[in-house]
Copies of this chain bind each other. A is one copy, B any other.
Amino acid sequence: MIPPNHPRYRSLLERERLVEGFREGYVVPQGLIAQGRGECFDYLLGEETQQFALEAITAAAAALLLAKHPVISVNGNVAALTPREVVELSEAVPALIEVNLFYRSREREDKIAEVLKRHGAKSVLGVGDDASCTIPELFSERRRVSCEGIYKADVVLVPLEDGDRTQALRRLGKTVIAIDLNPLSRTAQAASITIVDNITRAMPRLVDAVRRMKNASREELENVLKNYDNKRVLASALLHISKRIEELAKNIRES
């Protein structure tokens, strides 16, 4: 349907995958809107993985490898965009996989678990009665998590998470790794490590980083984390966007 030479081919393909997940009933309308917001920020980033993202990916790999109980949180958009990479990452670390939804329903939980299992996942937490522990300070269905998963986790990877939950997980003393194209979002600001990049580019790179750093010593990994400064990384991302927009403005005035 989409010609491969279309200037926005990659972005349109991602959109199609989302719309497909939506038709299958596990992506919600709000997830489509969130994808659109992401597209805009990706465009401003230059649609490439930048240095500040690589730095955050290295720190994220170190945090996952040092963790006692790492968990990967998966929502509808994550399942639509990078199901294979979620499974690969869970095997490489190793880490548990948990379905974690803002708009929770048994049907969506089941469908997302099915997508992940179709891509090789052996076990998926957070489905049905398994999500019976609660995160304090959050309301209704959004507070439910697996007692064996996010509830117990010391490190949680939350690609495409919302701000409230990221803050609540931080207050419980957990290390939170977010993947977020918007360096200004509350999620990006609240996370311990923020990968400002498109999830479809960041996830394969995170899998590679974990495999590469797998044999590093604890000391080396701890050093990576000690030298990591999330505020500096976020500021670099904003400056990058700002410079890019300014250049584009100059080009328009001169054209």
Residues of chain A whose beta carbon lies under 8 Å from any beta carbon of chain B = 15, 18-19, 22, 29-30, 32-41, 43-44, 182-184, 189, 231-232, 234-235, 238-239, 241-242, 245-246, 248-249, 252-253, 255
Contacts and interface: CB of A to CB of B under 8 A. Distances in A.
Total copies of the chain: 2
A33 to B, nearest CB: 4
Contacts of A30: 15, 19
Classify the interface of chain A: helix, strand, loop or mixed.
Answer: helix
A177 to B, nearest CB: 19
Contacts of A18: 29, 33
Contacts of A238: 245-246, 248-249, 252
A232 B253 contact: yes
A17 to B, nearest CB: 12
Contacts of A37: 36-37, 39-40
A37 B181 CA distance: 12
A182 B44 CA distance: 11
